[in-house]
A and B are shown apart, each in its own frame.
Chain A
Amino acid sequence: MESESPTETKKGKSKTPKKEKESILKQKSPAEFFAENKNIAGFDNPGKCLYTTVRELVENALDSAEAISELPVIEITIEEIVKSKFNSMIGLVDRERVDEELYDDYETAKAREKRLEKEARAQEIQAKNAALGKKVKEHAVSKSSKGRGEASFYRVTCRDNGRGMPHDDIPNMFGRVLSGTKYGLKQTRGKFGLGAKMALIWSKMSTGLPIEISSSMRGQNYLSFCRLDIDIHRNIPHIHLHEKRDNKDKWHGAEIQVVIEGNWTTYRSKILHYMRQMAVITPYAQFLFKFVSDAPDKNVTIKFARRTDVMPPVPVETKHHPSSVDILLIKRLIAETSKQNLMQFLQHEFVNIGKPLAERLIGEMGPEFSPKMAVKSLTDQQIVRIHQLFRQAKFDDPSGDCLSPAGEYNLRLGIIKELHPDMVATYSGSAQVFEGHPFIVEAGVSVGGKDVKQGLNIFRFANRIPLLFEQGGDVVTRTALKRISWNNYKINQTQDKIGVFVSIVSTKIPFKGTGKEYIGDDISEIASAVKSAIQQCCIQLKSKIVKKMQAREQQERKRNLSKYIPDASNAVYNVLQEMAKSHASKKKRYEEGDADILQKVSDHLITKETLYEKLTQHVEKVDYEMALEYATQTGVREEPREDIYLQSLDGKGNFFDFHSPIFVFRLFL
Chain B
Amino acid sequence: MAEKKKRRRADSDSNSASQPFKNLLKSDAQILQILKSVTSSSSSSTSKPLTLADLALSSTCREVSDLSLSSVQSTIESLVLQLTHQILSGQGFSFIVPSRSSSNQLYVPELDRIVLKDKSTVRPFSHISSVRKTTITAKILSLVHQLCLKNIHVTKRDLFYTDVKLFQDQVQSDAVLDDVSCMLGCTRSSLNVIAAEKGVVVGRLIFSDNGDMIDCTKMGMGGKAIPPNIDRVGDMQSDALFILLVEKDAAYIRLAEDRFYNRFPCIIVTAKGQPDVATRLFLKKMKMELKLPVLALVDSDPYGLKILSVYGCGSKNMSYDSANLTTPDIKWLGIRPSDLDKYKIPEQCRLPMTEQDIKTGKDLLEEDFVKKNPGWVEELNLMVKTKQKAEIQALSSFGFQYLSEVYLPLKLQQQDWL
Which residues from chain A sit less than 8 Å from chain B, CB to CB?
Answer: 553, 557, 560-561, 564, 567-572, 574-576, 578-579, 588, 590, 593-594, 597, 606, 610-611, 614-615, 617-619, 621-622
Contact = CB atoms under 8 A, between A and B. Distances in A.
Contacts of B76: 575
A585 to B, nearest CB: 13
A599 to B, nearest CB: 13
Interface string B62-89: 0000000000001011101101110110
A571 B134 CA distance: 11
Contact of A564 (B74, B132, B146): B132
A561 B131 contact: yes
A567 B166 CA distance: 8
A493 B129 CA distance: 23
A248 B170 CA distance: 82
B80 A564 contact: no
Contacts of B126: 561, 618-619, 622
Contacts of B138: 567-568, 571-572
A564 B138 CA distance: 11
B149 interface: yes
Contacts of B85: 593, 597
Given A567-B135, A615-B125, A575 B145 contact: yes
Nearest to B78: A594
A619 B92 contact: yes
A614 to B, nearest CB: 5
Contact of A594 (B81, B134, B146): B81
A612 to B, nearest CB: 10
A572 B128 contact: no
A468 B148 CA distance: 67
B220 interface: no
A579 B77 contact: yes
Interface of B: 74, 76-78, 80-81, 83-85, 87-88, 90-93, 125-126, 128, 131-132, 134-135, 138-139, 141-142, 145-146, 149, 163, 166
Contact of A568 (B74, B88, B125): B125
Question: Secondary structure of the A side of the interface?
Answer: helix
Given A564-B125, A579-B77, A615-B125, A571 B87 contact: no
B87 A611 contact: yes
Given A571-B142, A572-B142, A611-B87, A578 B131 contact: no
Contacts of B128: 553, 557, 560-561
B237 to A, nearest CB: 41
B414 to A, nearest CB: 47
A590 B78 CA distance: 9
Nearest to B87: A614
Nearest to B145: A575
B134 A578 contact: no
Task: Please provide the 8 A-B residue pairs with the shortest distance between their CB atoms, ordered closest to farther.
Answer: A571-B138, A618-B92, A571-B142, A564-B135, A622-B126, A575-B80, A571-B139, A568-B135
B83 A572 contact: yes
22 contacts: A557-B128, A560-B131, A567-B135, A568-B93, A571-B138, A571-B141, A572-B83, A574-B145, A575-B80, A575-B142, A578-B146, A579-B77, A579-B81, A590-B81, A597-B81, A606-B88, A610-B88, A611-B88, A614-B90, A617-B90, A618-B87, A621-B90
A571 B135 contact: yes
Contact of B131 (A564, A575, A617): A564
Contacts of B77: 575, 579
Contacts of A618: 87, 90-92, 125-126
B73 to A, nearest CB: 9
Contacts of A590: 81
Contacts of A561: 125-126, 128, 131
Interface centre among A568, A569, A614, A621, by most chain B C-beta atoms within 10 angstroms, is A568
A575 B125 CA distance: 18
A564 B124 CA distance: 13
A568 B125 CA distance: 9
Contacts of B81: 579, 590, 594, 597
Contacts of B135: 564, 567-568, 571
A606 B78 CA distance: 17
Given A572-B83, A619-B126, 6 more contacts: A557-B128, A570-B139, A572-B80, A579-B80, A611-B84, A621-B90
A567 B90 CA distance: 18
Contacts of B139: 567-568, 570-571
Contacts of B88: 597, 606, 610-611, 614
A615 B87 contact: yes
Contact of B141 (A575, A579, A593, A610): A575
A300 B164 CA distance: 55
A271 to B, nearest CB: 43
A30 B74 CA distance: 95
B84 A576 contact: yes
A27 to B, nearest CB: 53
B16 to A, nearest CB: 49
Contacts of A560: 128, 131
A579 B142 CA distance: 11
Contact of A576 (B80, B91, B134): B80
